[in-house]
Amino acid sequence: MHKETDIIYEAIANLEDITGLKISIETTRSQYDAIINVGNHTFYAEAKTNARKSNIGLILSKFQELDMNKNWLLVADYLAKDVAEILQQQNYNYIDVAGNAHIKVGELFIFIEGQKKKSKEKKNQSRAFQEAGLKLLLLLISDPQSLQTSYRELADKTGISLGSVSNIFTELKATGFLLTTNNKRVLKNRDVLLDRWVVAYNEILKPRMLRKKYRLANEDRNFINVNTAEFGFIWGGEAAAGIITNYLKSDQYIIYYDEDLPTLVRNLRLIPDNDGNIEVYNTFWTKDLNLKYHNTAPPLVVYADLMGSNSSRNIETAKIILENGL
């Protein structure tokens, strides 16, 4: 909580400097990160140290669960322009440490943009949320029984090195995500762990897995009814979510496919298009991960695909997937 409190005080101080307004802060109430008074208006703060496009779905999901009879204010370390625009479109109030702000309540309107993020020294990045760690955590979350297997077996099942498994487990213990008792391992703080996995997947691993974007040669074709087994791919994203929940109909398609791209393009009649609605990715899990659904990516991956978008319908569907179990 201390880091979140620091962000709030720093963001408010910068907002006061830029606007000349006098703003009061109370951070002693446990149910809110802070209560902030601007003129005659009271705001309840929700602080986020990492508010990015890759986790905008998580942020919007959190706000949708709040009491909308209150004025809520997102306080972040920094909000890039694309993230700020999404929040504006959804009518959410925000400020950041750099001095950017969008507050619109009654007669009060504050809008500041173009403030730059202060550069900071890069810290050592967590192994658990780099590529090897994300692969291991996918297995551990998708198959909790795998927590009880040996490091060697986990290395074989994920395709990462034995040393990486050892280092990642050490870090998970040190950061409070793993408890070991009586020779049994248990994941802790699962909600935070999932949130961090989603952010790291969308920022680090997913971009590396992207192969190419396409569109259909025949856009009237009912693409979702394609026999995935025949063509050797599985669905991710919205298409997979529709199959898992029967709640979402998709016009954006994610395909996980490891074979020769020209063969897929020819068989599915795809046309290369950087703005196309079909994205093809390599898989990053091994055949040792038993898929819950034969024609979709693991539910955790589908959940992350959805939460990486700013679509309210996708976020609703992601919650259903989470409730049904990853």
Place of tokens 């990015």: 52
Asked whether residue 227 carries a pLDDT value surpassing 50, the answer given is yes
pLDDT at 3: 60
Q: What is the mean pLDDT of residues 77-102?
A: 93
Nearest to 54, CA basis, from 77, 29, 82, 91: 82
Cβ-Cβ contacts under 8 Å for 127 (sequence gap 6 or more): 133, 164, 167, 168, 171
pTM across the whole model: 0.77
Per-residue pLDDT tens digits for 45-84: 988 887 888 888 888 888 888 888 899 999 999 999 999 9
Centroid of chain to Cα 185? 25
- SS3 label, residue 180: strand
Q: Pick the more confident residue, 183 or 17.
A: 17
The domain ranges of the chain are 2-112, 127-188, 197-324
Report, at the CATH architecture level, how domain 127-188 is classified. Answer: Orthogonal Bundle (1.10)
pLDDT at 120: 55
Report, at the CATH architecture level, how domain 2-112 is classified. Answer: 3-Layer(aba) Sandwich (3.40)
The span from the CA of 65 to the CA of 244, in Å, is 23
pLDDT at 124: 46
Q: What is the mean pLDDT of residues 227-247?
A: 94
* pLDDT, averaged across the chain: 90
Q: What is the mean pLDDT of residues 256-277?
A: 94
Asked whether residue 123 carries a pLDDT value surpassing 50, the answer given is no
Cβ-Cβ contacts under 8 Å for 167 (sequence gap 6 or more): 127
Strand order in the sheet with 108-112: 23-26, 34-38, 41-48, 72-76, 93-96, 101-105, 108-112
